[in-house]
Amino acid sequence: MEVTGRVIAVLPEQGGVSKTGNEWKKQEYVIETQEQYPKKVCFQLFGADRIAQAAIQSGEVITVHFDIESREYQGRWYTNINGWRIERPAADGAAPAGEVTPANFAPAGAPVAPDFPPASPVDDLPF
Output the CA–CA distances (angstroms, integers) from residue 39 to 4, 33, 49, 52, 80, in the order listed: 10, 5, 28, 26, 16
- Burial of residue 83 (number of CB atoms within 10 Å: 0-12, 13-18, 19+): buried
> Among 120, 49, 36, 41, which Cα is nearest to 80's?
41
Distance between alpha carbon 15 and the CA centroid of its chain, in Å?
23
Domains: count for the chain: 1
How confident is the model at residue 98, as a pLDDT?
A: 44
User: What single-letter amino acid sits at 110?
Assistant: A
Backbone phi, psi, residue 48, to 5°: -60, -40
Torsion, Cα 41 47 50 53, to 10 degrees, reads 110
60 falls within a domain: yes
107 falls within a domain: no
For β-strands 61-73 and 76-87, DSSP reports them as: antiparallel
Along the chain (127 residues), what's the average pLDDT of each consecutive run of 10 residues?
96 94 95 95 96 95 96 96 92 50 48 54 56
How confident is the model at residue 100, as a pLDDT?
A: 45
User: What's the CA gap between 9 and 57, in Å, rounded?
Assistant: 9
35 falls within a domain: yes
**The domain containing residue 20 runs over which residues?**
2-87
Q: Rounded to two decimals, what is the model's pTM?
A: 0.68
93 falls within a domain: no
CATH number for the domain harbouring residue 26: 2.40.50.140
109 falls within a domain: no
How confident is the model at residue 42, as a pLDDT?
A: 97
